[in-house]
Amino acid sequence: MTRPVAALTIAGSDSGGGAGIQADLRTFAAYGVHGLSALAATTAQNTRAVTAVHRIPGAHLAAQIDAVFDDFRIAAVKTGMLRTAATVRVVARALRGRRVPFVLDPVMIASSGAALLAPGAVDALVDELLPLATLLTPNLPEAEALTGLRIDSARAMDKACEALLARGARAVLLKGGHLPGHRVVDLLRTSKVRVAIRHARLAREGHGTGCTLASAIAAQLALGGALEGATRDAVAYVHGALARGSQPGRGRVFVLDHFWRMR
């Protein structure tokens, strides 16, 4: 009997079901990948606010990661909200030496505006996790925090990517949704490749779009896809999921329809 391809998400739980571990696992399922999870934190969260965050003790997080690697053939890893420098270091120790594609989503701020990464964790993320990652997927505010640069134009996006590559990233997908305009430009950069991915801006605010995008890329890398093709498809997948999203809570944000391609 053939075992299904498995991918692991290491992230926080969203009690509102729209982002974090919940979005990651739905995305893996939509791509036909068996989803594994290691919880780094739990949140008290809905479509309007994050009201509390609880960090999972480092020893228990490490035990979760070791348990799934001990039993499953993990073909890709994706990280999301890690919250603290101590958690970042636990994850780095657990992943170091494992030869699997790794998508690093540096989750720092929730859609509601709540801080999800402690200020002291930024240096740990750059020093400990960035060198291990196959792809880094920041939005513009996250890239500004990681580089210290102001990103207010397409040219500034290129400079930020170059700065992140210089800091040890092997590849960067810089998400351009925070720049104004009718079209959004996401920029994929490596030392040799520059790919601008353009798509129409949707007049709605999504919840869990960054988590879903990183997970969609990780799922495709797990299935053996190439980075550029996986990234292009993931951008289209998230766009379609947001276009067909709904508002299950009383907040203004839209929760994605992760299974829209199956309907």
The CATH code for residues 6-262 is 3.40.1190.20
Q: Quick one: pLDDT at residue 110? A: 64
Q: Quick one: pLDDT at residue 3? A: 86
Q: Quick one: pLDDT at residue 115? A: 67
pLDDT by residue (tens digit) across 184-195? 999 999 999 999
Residues of the chain with pLDDT under 70: 1, 110-115
Could you write out the DSSP letters of every residue in the chain?
-PPPPEEEEEEEEETTSSSHHHHHHHHHHHTT-EEEEEEEEEEEE-SS-EEEEEEPPHHHHHHHHHHHHHHS-EEEEEE---BSHHHHHHHHHHHTT--S-EEE----B-TTS-B-B-TTHHHHIIIIIGGG-SEE--BHHHHHHHH-----SHHHHHHHHHHHHHTT-SEEEEB-TTS-SSEEEEEEEESS-EEEEEEEPPSS-EESHHHHHHHHHHHHHHTT--HHHHHHHHHHHHHHHHHT-B--SSSSPEEP-TTGGG-
Domain boundaries of the chain, sorted by first residue: 6-262
